[in-house]
Amino acid sequence: MRALIIGVGQCGTKIADLFALVDFEALAINTSKSDLDYLKHIPRERRILIGESLTGGKGVNANPVLGREAMKRDLSMIMKKINSMVGYSDVDIFFLTFGFGGGTGAGGAPVLAEALKEEYPDSLVVAIGALPLKEEGIRPTINAAITIDKLSKVADSIIAIDNNKLKESGEDITRAYEKINHTIVERIASLLALIDIPGEQTLDSSDLKFVLNAFGSFATVGYAKAEANKVRNLSRLILKSFENEGLYLEANIESALYGLVAIHGPPELLKARDIFEALSYLTKKIKGKQIFRGFYPDPREKEIEVVTLLTGIYESKSIEDIVIIAKQYAQSFIKAKEEAETKKKELLTGLPDFDDIYP
Ligand code: GDP
């Protein structure tokens, strides 16, 4: 299984940098030179500055229209770089990481996703994006709504991470982002590490690709972990990984099409009966009625870890909130603009031509 991680913008490149730390092939793209310099693990030759002619390397100031333009202007240079990284062996999945509420990532990621789909039709393009915090105000929400719309037409799946859900109240924002980024990478990296491991009931890349090939709908990752000697009921732990508190997104899991579960732990505790009990309950619960599973007995392991992927989700409060707020804002903005135009007309109609006053 070969995954290539491409981070776009500040949030996206920070997340991609953490993937590089755990040995994934990663590329960083940004309009801000200083943000690229700040990365630690992606090698310098894999950090690409775009839109220099547009912004002079100073970023796009959270404007996705400029982010889109920067990506378009330098797209051929980027695709050449990606081509050279890909080389002669196929990439199964391109993961694009970014923040939905900013400019470079929000504007650039959909342009890059479209170009990748065209150039590599057999690979999947999966977006991994952080949704803005409510307290950030209206602009990031609008940027997110625009990007949700554009990506849903080009990406195969969108793994949306709701910062609101993962940030604890009162927590410092920089620390919260750091923690959220680690959580994202830990979960996704541990799932990817389990794909294509030889074994009797393991997951392979075709299972993962089947599940993620979900026509631009939303996906989420769940997780549950416990010390092996404290797990009395494995079935319960598996169900926990699908519960709302374990997921990245407020979502109705019953609206999901596909699921995938990887269970890793000491062999004597991975009891088939418990696993099948949980999985048959969950399979009945989701709309698409298909859950792929992988068991990874490991005698050295002292913990049981369950990673879950749910895809094809179309009912999510996190997403609906953003789209509804953006729509309401657009409607009230258009109304306010019309009212201002009318007022202006009313005020100025009948005003004579004063040219005569200044002969
Ligand atoms: P860009 O560089 O113009 O693409 O903008 P950013 O990447 O800074 O995107 C800003 C949005 O991403 C904001 O709405 C934040 O909520 C979110 N964000 C910024 N940095 C981080 C981060 O490190 N982690 C997470 N999870 N979200 C972030």
pLDDT per residue as tens digits for the range 209-224: 999 999 999 999 999 9
Q: What is the pLDDT of residue 352?
A: 85
User: Are residues 7 and 103 part of one domain?
Assistant: yes
Closest CA to 100 of 323, 297, 292, 314: 323
Mean pLDDT of 261-271: 92
Query: Cβ neighbours of residue 123 under 8 Å, at least 6 residues apart?
Result: 90, 91, 92, 93, 94, 116
Indicate whether 204 belongs to any domain: no
Indicate whether 273 belongs to any domain: yes
Indicate whether 64 belongs to any domain: yes
Does residue 11's CB lie within 6 angstroms of at least one atom of ligand 1? Answer: yes
Nearest CA to ligand 1 atom 15: 132
User: Are residues 225 and 188 part of one domain?
Assistant: no
Indicate whether 319 belongs to any domain: no
Indicate whether 328 belongs to any domain: no
In this predicted structure, the answer to whether residue 280 has a pLDDT above a threshold of 90 is yes
Share of the chain above pLDDT 90, in %: 89
Domain boundary among 158, 176, 193: 193
Q: Structure tokens of 9?
A: 């913008």
What is the per-residue pLDDT across 211-262, written as a single tens digit (0 to 9) for each?
999 999 999 999 999 999 998 889 999 998 888 777 889 999 999 999 999 9
Alpha carbons within 13 A on the beta-carbon side of 23: 4
Q: What is the pLDDT of residue 290?
A: 94
What is the per-residue pLDDT across 331-349, written as a single tens digit (0 to 9) for each?
999 999 999 999 999 999 9
Q: What is the pLDDT of residue 49?
A: 98
Share of the chain above pLDDT 70, in %: 100
Closest ligand 1 atom to residue 32 Cα is 2
User: Are residues 73 and 7 part of one domain?
Assistant: yes
User: Are residues 137 and 7 part of one domain?
Assistant: yes
Strands 157-162 and 124-131: parallel
In this predicted structure, the answer to whether residue 359 has a pLDDT above a threshold of 70 is no
ipTM associated with this complex: 0.99
Closest ligand 1 atom to residue 166 Cα is 26
Handedness of CA 232, 238, 241, 242 (dihedral sign): negative
What is the per-residue pLDDT across 123-142, written as a single tens digit (0 to 9) for each?
999 999 999 999 999 999 99
**What is the end-to-end Cα distance of the chain in Å, rounded?**
82
Does residue 123's CB lie within 6 angstroms of at least one atom of ligand 1? Answer: no
| Cα angle, residue 172 at apex, residues 41 and 98 outer, rounded to 5° | 45
CATH number at residue 22: 3.40.50.1440
Do 40 and 121 contact (CB within 8 A), yes or no?
A: no
Does residue 220's CB lie within 6 angstroms of at least one atom of ligand 1? Answer: no
In this predicted structure, the answer to whether residue 315 has a pLDDT above a threshold of 90 is yes
Q: What is the pLDDT of residue 120?
A: 97
User: What does the DSSP 8-state code read for residue 246?
Assistant: G
Residue 136: domain span: 3-193
pLDDT band of 357, cuts 50, 70, 90: confident
User: Are residues 257 and 180 part of one domain?
Assistant: no
pLDDT band of 205, cuts 50, 70, 90: very high
Does residue 52's CB lie within 6 angstroms of at least one atom of ligand 1? Answer: no
User: Are residues 18 and 53 part of one domain?
Assistant: yes
Mean pLDDT of 189-199: 93
User: Are residues 226 and 121 part of one domain?
Assistant: no
Most informative mutation of 8, 11, 47, 146 for ligand 1 (most atoms within 8 A of CB):
11
Q: How far apart are CA 234 and CA 250, in angstroms?
A: 24
CATH number at residue 236: 3.30.1330.20
Q: Structure tokens of 290?
A: 């298909």
User: Are residues 166 and 55 part of one domain?
Assistant: yes
Handedness of CA 83, 130, 195, 293 (dihedral sign): negative
Q: How far apart are CA 61 and CA 143, in angstroms?
A: 12
In this predicted structure, the answer to whether residue 144 has a pLDDT above a threshold of 80 is yes
Indicate whether 171 belongs to any domain: yes
What is the per-residue pLDDT across 55-66, written as a single tens digit (0 to 9) for each?
999 999 999 999
Closest CA to 142 of 315, 318, 324: 324
Q: At 346, phi and psi to the nearest 5?
A: -55, -45
In this predicted structure, the answer to whether residue 171 has a pLDDT above a threshold of 70 is yes
Cα–ligand 1 centroid distance for 2 (angstroms): 26
Number of structural domains the chain divides into: 2
Indicate whether 262 belongs to any domain: yes
In this predicted structure, the answer to whether residue 28 has a pLDDT above a threshold of 90 is yes
Indicate whether 332 belongs to any domain: no
Q: What is the pLDDT of residue 175?
A: 95
Closest CA to 108 of 167, 52, 63: 63
User: Are residues 71 and 9 part of one domain?
Assistant: yes
Residue 352: exposure state from Cβ atoms within 10 A (0-12, 13-18, ≥19): exposed
Does residue 99's CB lie within 6 angstroms of at least one atom of ligand 1? Answer: yes
Mean pLDDT rounded to a whole number for the chain: 95
User: Are residues 295 and 167 part of one domain?
Assistant: no
User: Around Cβ 177, how many Cβ atoms within 10 Å?
Assistant: 21
User: Are residues 234 and 189 part of one domain?
Assistant: no
Domain boundary among 177, 193, 209: 193
In this predicted structure, the answer to whether residue 199 has a pLDDT above a threshold of 90 is no
Q: What is the pLDDT of residue 244?
A: 73
User: Are residues 164 and 19 part of one domain?
Assistant: yes
